Amino acid sequence: METIAREHTIKPPAGPDAFVHRELRDGEFWRAIPKYRDVDEATFLDHIWQGQNSIKSPEDLLDTVKELVDPSFFEDVREGFRRAPMAVRVSPYMIASIDWSQPYRDPIRTQFIPVASKLRADHPRLTLDSLHELEDSPVPGLTHRYVDKALFLPLNVCPVYCRFCTRSYAIGGDTDVVEKVSLAKTPKQWQDAFAYIASRPELEDIVISGGDTYQLAPKNITLIGDALLAIPHVRRLRFATKGPAVMPMKILTDHAWTDALVGVVDAGRKLGKEVVVHTHFNSPSEITAITQRAMALLFERGVTVRNQSVLIRGVNDDADTMRLLVKRLSYINVHPYYVYMHDLVKGVEDLRTTVQTSVDIEKAVRGSTAGFNTPMFICDAPGGGGKRDVHSFDHYDRENGIVIYSAPSVKPGAHFVYFDPIDLLVPAAQARWQNPSIAEEMIAEAVAKAGGMPTYVSA
């Protein structure tokens, strides 16, 4: 028998780039902001101080960062605030995490502070509730779209307001351009939602969102958790919050809130039911040593945390940034779960990018870390089609930016249309979108090529 000799191959040591995800911003970095120069660590880590000192107006911002930026930037911000569909609220932690030497390019500023010069016209097919959550709402504050899952929305406020919020139709106060829809904000309305969930034995999975569960009082975390866990057929709860990304110190200093959350997690475990936290980091810059301490506390106390990012132009729409985000999340024990295509949201067309960009980034990210720590890249199909793997389209007209999805387990027989931003298309395609009749023909042709009927669902 012939023996084949093999030489052992030793993989060369990893270079410095392999460890960048472990380099977390630490120290009293907030003191670089003029208004926070005299703020000590105990004060900065106080969640109450963070909430009381959040930025809500251009004047607040000017008073906080002062000479760090040019006066022309403030005029741009002032007009951006006026045209924003979302109210603005930014925590001191986020303000201190922005690189004010280049505010127009900073990924955190991009997400939370609008500037008029960057705004683009909305896509002509955009509507305020692009995911049709209200159409799938049997009682106020509850969306029942998937057979076994419901979305419970018990409040309409957040610790920080994202410019790109899917629920800009309801979250925060009214603005100059949007009058908000009312959600289930009272315990009486919550009881109506609980009664509906109890009446539907197919419902096993409940997402508790809003708004943001960070803003629920501890007693209401317990009330909601206990009520849902008491329903025999409910097997899984997910508390959704952007808090760990925008105000991680609350987990460290609001002991009553953290204890209430852990209490529901422990109660669920004793019942054989899963209770987890779903959070929302978009940029590696959002993750600091404070974040790591907060996530370590939840990990130590048995709380699973998963992350759902949004693919945002100028924030995380390149492979290197996304790889860094995924590895940094994994490093702090946050499971990278989803990366969503940016929904068709009013007033933030400058933040959207193309489906092809998502497909390319997914390909680049896969294999850079363990498979279970690699997120799924998703398009939440406009019109209520639900979450689709971004590459699972039935047809993609890349030139005109028209993407067709189907969702046989959600709404059989229907086709759902997502649109790339018009300003990223070639000039000829941009011109075609200016003519409504030509636009309708382009969409109908794309749906037909996907095998769909002439009727379709879009935002």
Q: Are residues 201 and 258 in the same domain?
A: yes
Whether 368 is in a domain gets the answer yes
Q: What is the pLDDT of residue 429?
A: 98
Whether 448 is in a domain gets the answer no
Q: What is the pLDDT of residue 86?
A: 79
Q: State the Cα angle at 97 between 328 and 282, rounded to 5°.
A: 45
> Splitting the chain (459 residues) into consecutive groups of 10 residues, what average pLDDT does each group show?
65 90 97 98 98 95 95 94 88 98 97 94 79 75 92 90 72 45 70 96 96 94 98 98 97 98 98 98 98 98 98 97 98 97 91 98 95 95 91 97 94 92 97 96 94 64
Whether 263 is in a domain gets the answer yes
Measured CA to CA, the distance from residue 174 to residue 160 in angstroms comes to 15
Whether 406 is in a domain gets the answer no
Q: Are residues 82 and 181 in the same domain?
A: no
Q: What is the pLDDT of residue 336?
A: 97
Q: Name residues whose C-beta falls within 8 Å of residue 19's C-beta, 6 or more positions apart in sequence.
A: none
Q: Are residues 386 and 276 in the same domain?
A: yes
Q: Are residues 108 and 183 in the same domain?
A: no
DSSP lists the bridge partners of residue 152 as 142, 208
Strands (E), 98-139: none
Whether 245 is in a domain gets the answer yes
Q: What is the pLDDT of residue 180?
A: 37
Q: What is the pLDDT of residue 119?
A: 93
Alpha helices per DSSP H over 165-254: 187-199, 218-229, 243-246, 249-253
Q: Are residues 160 and 277 in the same domain?
A: yes
The Cα-based distances of 456 to 144, 189, 225, 247, 255 in angstroms read 21, 34, 38, 41, 49
Given CA atoms 230, 277, 191, 196 in this order, what sign does their dihedral have?
Answer: negative
235: alpha, beta or left, given left = phi > 0 and alpha = psi -120 to 50? alpha
Q: Are residues 179 and 305 in the same domain?
A: yes
How many CB atoms are closer than 10 A to CB 289? 14
Among 92, 113, 134, the domain boundary falls at 113
Which backbone phi and psi does 23 adopt, to 5 degrees? -90, 95
Q: Are residues 82 and 165 in the same domain?
A: no
- What DSSP string describes 343-407? P--TT-GGG---HHHHHHHHHHHTTSS-GGGSPEEEEEETTTTEEEETT--SEEETTTTEEEEE-
DSSP lists the bridge partners of residue 381 as 386
Q: Are residues 109 and 163 in the same domain?
A: no
Among 60, 94, 113, the domain boundary falls at 113
Half-sphere exposure of 76 (CA within 13 A, CB side): 16
Whether 437 is in a domain gets the answer no
Q: Are residues 188 and 315 in the same domain?
A: yes
Q: What is the DSSP-derived secondary structure letter of residue 171?
A: S
Number of domains in the chain: 2
Helix (H, G, I), strand (E, B), or coil: what is residue 151?
A: strand
Q: What is the pLDDT of residue 71?
A: 92
Q: Are residues 83 and 201 in the same domain?
A: no
**34-67 core/surface letters (b: 16 or more CB in 10 A; e: else):** ebbeebeeeebbbbebbbebbbeebebbbebbee
Measured CA to CA, the distance from residue 171 to residue 179 in angstroms comes to 10
Measured CA to CA, the distance from residue 303 to residue 259 in angstroms comes to 11
Q: Which long-range contacts (CB under 8 A, 24 or more apart) does 48-51 make?
A: 49/92, 50/91, 50/92, 50/93, 50/159, 50/247, 50/249, 50/250, 51/91, 51/159, 51/247
Measured CA to CA, the distance from residue 274 to residue 267 in angstroms comes to 9
Question: 103 lies in which domain range?
Answer: 29-113
Give the N- to C-terminal CA distance of the chain in Å, as an integer. 68
Q: Are residues 151 and 63 in the same domain?
A: no
Whether 56 is in a domain gets the answer yes
Q: Name residues whose C-beta falls within 8 Å of residue 134's C-beta, 6 or more positions apart in sequence.
A: 169, 181
Among 96, 113, 130, the domain boundary falls at 113
Q: What is the pLDDT of residue 183?
A: 54
Q: Are residues 168 and 254 in the same domain?
A: yes
Q: Which of 379, 364, 365, 377 is nearest to 416 (CA)?
A: 379
Measured CA to CA, the distance from residue 436 to residue 427 in angstroms comes to 16
User: Looking at residue 321, which CATH number applies to its domain?
Assistant: 3.20.20.70
Strands (E), 223-365: 236-240, 274-279, 305-311, 335-341
* Residues 280/342, Cβ–Cβ less than 8 Å: no
pTM over 0.85: yes
Whether 422 is in a domain gets the answer no
